Amino acid sequence: MGLDKIDLSILRELQQDSSLTNQELADRVGLSASPCLRRVKALEESGVIDKSVTLLNQNKLGLKLTAFIQISMDRHTPDRFELFESTLESFPEVKSCSLVTGQSADYLLEVVVEDMERYQEFLLGKLTRIPGVTGVHSSFLLRRIISRTSLPLDHLK
C-alpha cells in the first residue's frame, strides 16, 4: 500500500474539497482524467479514503455552545463501560467520545448544544444519570484556533 507523491497530492486536495470534479482534481495534481480516477478508486478500495461528508456551520444552526467534558467512572468493569457507551450513543448532543488514558479521567467528550440552559439539561438530565459516572469536569470552548478535518500528510515519507 505504498503511496507516492501524486497519491498524497490527491489526498491533500480531496481532504480540503471533496466536491472537485475528477477533471479539476486531475489538473491540480498534474495528471489526465483517467489515471487520476484510477488512483482515486484505488484509494477508496484500499480504505485509505474513508468517505466524503458535508460540514455544516454550527452557529448558523443555533448551536452556539461547545463543551469539553472529562468523565471518570467509579469502577472499571466491562458492564460499566458498556452501559455508559451504549447510553451515550443515543444522545445527539455528543459530537465525540473517546476512551482515554490518564488518572484524572476515563472519557473525554465533546458536546454541542444551543445554549447554557440546554447544556445544564444535558448534564443533569442525561449525563450524570448514567450509573457509574462519578467525576464530571466541564470546560467550554471560547475560540477555535485550529480545526483540521485534514490529516497531516506533509510529514509522511
Partner DNA sequence: GGTGAAAAGCTTCGTGT
Partner DNA sequence: ACACGAAGCTTTTCACC
Within positions 83 to 142, which residues make up the interface with a copy of itself, using CB under 8 A? 85, 88-89, 92-102, 104-105, 107-108, 112, 137-142
Return the H-helix or E-strand segment holding 39. helix 33-46
Q: How far apart are CA 134 and CA 113, in angstroms?
A: 22
Neighbouring C-beta atoms of residue 59, cutoff 10 Å: 8
Nearer of residues 32 and 128 to DNA, judged by Cβ: 32
Candidate ranges 26-34, 43-51, 71-79, 125-133; the one touching a copy of itself (CB under 8 A): 43-51
Cell of 107: 472519557
Nearer of residues 31 and 109 to a copy of itself, judged by Cβ: 109
Q: How far apart are CA 43 and CA 128, in angstroms?
A: 43
Q: How many residues belong to the chain?
A: 157
Contact positions vs DNA (CB under 7 A):
6, 21-24, 30-39
Nearer of residues 37 and 130 to DNA, judged by Cβ: 37
Residue with cell 482515554: 100
Asked whether position 45 contacts a copy of itself by CB under 8 A, the answer is: no
What residues pair up with 111 in beta bridges, in sequence order? 67, 94
Query: Binding residues for a copy of itself, per CB under 8 A?
Result: 1, 3, 11, 14-19, 46-58, 60-63, 66, 68, 85, 88-89, 92-102, 104-105, 107-108, 112, 137-156
